[in-house]
């Protein structure tokens, strides 16, 4: 199949003049897998069409929000209806209560929730709250986890920073990260050692309960439970960053699924149905420290935006229907098994990590359970694989260290087409 990317190439040159790197978020760049990103014209269900008219099965799904696929009728209708009443008021609406009620009912650990505009804002604000609540400064995060681009969290981070090889960002003064401690994901012994030394100074442990930003890495049995126990023992808060996993792995999130109760939970992506959103919530006694009830300041002109609330409500309504998560997991499992078999037939060494509707195919032979094992993956092979898949109409994340996101719109036929493309792409990759 010979695809032409003439217009994308042209527009990329144009974009470079006005937008740093031609993209408004580094993860959209194709630096790790080719030259220029493709520019998107439209989406429908599981597919996207670029400005050259090429159609792809989309496994990025806007990096997670589109769990129903593109242009889901219920979401389109809800946004259109909301739009007709106005775009923003900077004053409360009933929609905010409806979404907050739904989120807190899905997450038993959340008595209250505050809406913000992005996942970055959610984690940044949750940390401020944790520091205010505990009266401590230090935080512990895990290498390869990404929690948005707030200064204190850009330390040994995953996602675009891992892809671009800059896991700790310049522009962040050392004085702003002296309170950030890092540990290896899945290494409870290391966490125990850190806490035995400085546990009394640690305000919070922040973690992705299933890591998605070094590729998909699941917690080993007992890891999250152990973190809950240690944080409790030392009076630190446990923050689950469920910006990816919230409403993706289960009604509620990974915490609900594992039966581990964090003190604060961060959300984003799915709860805004494809419009900008973030949220953080937890126990009432912590949340009521927030202004205007308490002294911890956090605000936002567009927070709780009616269009985002309407889209989020429509998505959650669809996700509340029976069988949704089983169906997502079944499709993704079929893709995971198919990819393993295709790689085996082609003689490619890969490790497929799959959790619910999230999946990463690492070009490495051994198991992947932390940053170190993830980075044994061969990024050159992934690049060749990515390009062959793109040529065959499959749009994968343009980085080895990101997740594939499936949606309810992905069909069995999409999976078959993807696996046929993968059979050829694995051969080209090795
Ligand atoms: N936390 C996690 C786990 C994420 O994956 C991301 C983004 O991908 C964020 C936080 C930041 O969210 P946003 O990009 O909406 O600021």
Give the integer Cα–Cα distance in Å for 56 and 54: 7
Cα(400) to centroid of ligand 1, in Å?
17
Q: Which pLDDT score, from 0 to 100, does residue 163 have? A: 80
Determine the angle formed by the axes of helices 73-83 and 306-319, rounding to 10 degrees. 150
Q: Which pLDDT score, from 0 to 100, does residue 172 have? A: 86
**pLDDT (tens digit, 9 = 90+) per residue, 198-238?**
999 999 999 999 999 999 999 999 999 999 999 999 999 99
Q: Which pLDDT score, from 0 to 100, does residue 2 have? A: 59
Cα(243) to centroid of ligand 1, in Å?
6
* Catalytically active residues, by annotation: 146, 241, 269
Residue among 115, 116, 144, 146 to mutate when testing ligand 1 (max atoms within 8 A of CB) = 146
Cα(249) to centroid of ligand 1, in Å?
16
Query: Is residue 208 in contact with ligand 1, taking CB distance under 6 Å?
Result: yes
Under-70 pLDDT residues of the chain: 1-2, 166-167
Give the integer Cα–Cα distance in Å for 403 and 194: 30
Contacts of 332 (CB under 8 A, 6+ apart): 354, 356, 357, 358, 359, 406
Give the integer Cα–Cα distance in Å for 393 and 417: 9
Place of tokens 């890591």: 211
Cα(155) to centroid of ligand 1, in Å?
15
Give the integer Cα–Cα distance in Å for 388 and 385: 5
Neighbours of 296 (CB within 10 A): 18
Query: Is residue 274 in contact with ligand 1, taking CB distance under 6 Å?
Result: no
Query: Is residue 148 in contact with ligand 1, taking CB distance under 6 Å?
Result: yes
* DSSP string of 120-152, one letter each residue: HHHHHHHHHHHHHHHT--EEEEETT----S-GG
φ, ψ (nearest 5 deg) of residue 238: -105, 120
pTM > 0.95: yes or no: yes
Query: Is residue 186 in contact with ligand 1, taking CB distance under 6 Å?
Result: no
Query: Is residue 270 in contact with ligand 1, taking CB distance under 6 Å?
Result: no
């Amino acid at each position: 199949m010979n695809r032409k990317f003439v217009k994308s190439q042209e527009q990329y040159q144009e974009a470079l003049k006005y937008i740093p790197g031609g993209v408004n978020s580094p993860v959209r760049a194709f630096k790790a897998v080719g030259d220029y990103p493709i520019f998107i014209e439209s989406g429908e269900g599981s597919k996207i069409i670029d400005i050259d008219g090429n159609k792809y099965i989309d496994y990025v799904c806007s990096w997670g929000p589109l769990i129903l696929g593109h242009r889901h009728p219920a979401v389109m209708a809800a946004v259109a209806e909301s739009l007709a009443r106005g775009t923003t008021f900077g004053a409360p609406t009933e929609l905010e209560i409806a979404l907050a009620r739904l989120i807190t009912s899905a997450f038993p650990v959340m008595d209250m929730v505050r809406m913000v505009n992005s996942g970055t804002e959610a984690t940044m604000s949750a940390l401020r709250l944790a520091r205010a609540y505990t009266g401590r400064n230090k935080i512990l995060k895990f290498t390869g986890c990404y929690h948005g681009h707030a200064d204190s969290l850009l330390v040994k981070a995953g996602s675009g920073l891992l892809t671009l090889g800059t896991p700790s960002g310049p522009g962040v003064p050392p004085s702003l990260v002296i309170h950030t401690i890092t540990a290896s994901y899945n290494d409870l012994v290391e966490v125990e050692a850190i806490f035995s030394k400085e546990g009394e100074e640690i305000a919070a442990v922040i973690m992705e309960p299933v890591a998605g930003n070094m590729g998909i890495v699941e917690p080993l049995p007992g890891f999250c439970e152990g973190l809950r126990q240690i944080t409790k023992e030392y009076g630190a808060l446990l923050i689950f960053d469920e910006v990816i996993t919230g409403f993706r792995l289960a009604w509620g999130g990974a915490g609900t699924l594992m039966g581990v109760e964090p003190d604060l939970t961060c959300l984003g992506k799915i709860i805004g149905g494809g419009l900008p959103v973030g949220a953080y919530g937890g126990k009432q006694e912590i949340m009521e420290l927030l202004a205007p009830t308490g002294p911890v300041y956090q605000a936002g002109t567009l927070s709780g935006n009616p269009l985002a609330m309407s889209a989020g409500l429509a998505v959650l309504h669809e996700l509340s229907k029976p069988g949704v998560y089983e169906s997502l997991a079944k499709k993704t499992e079929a893709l995971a098994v198919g990819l393993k078999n295709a790689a085996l037939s082609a003689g490619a060494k890969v490790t497929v990590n799959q959790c619910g509707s999230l999946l990463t195919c690492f070009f490495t032979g051994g198991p992947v359970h932390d940053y170190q094992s993830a980075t044994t993956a061969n990024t050159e092979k992934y690049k060749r694989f990515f390009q062959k898949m793109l040529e065959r109409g499959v749009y994968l994340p343009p980085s080895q260290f990101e997740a594939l996101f499936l949606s309810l719109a992905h069909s069995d036929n999409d999976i078959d087409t993807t696996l046929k493309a993968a059979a050829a792409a694995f051969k080209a990759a090795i």
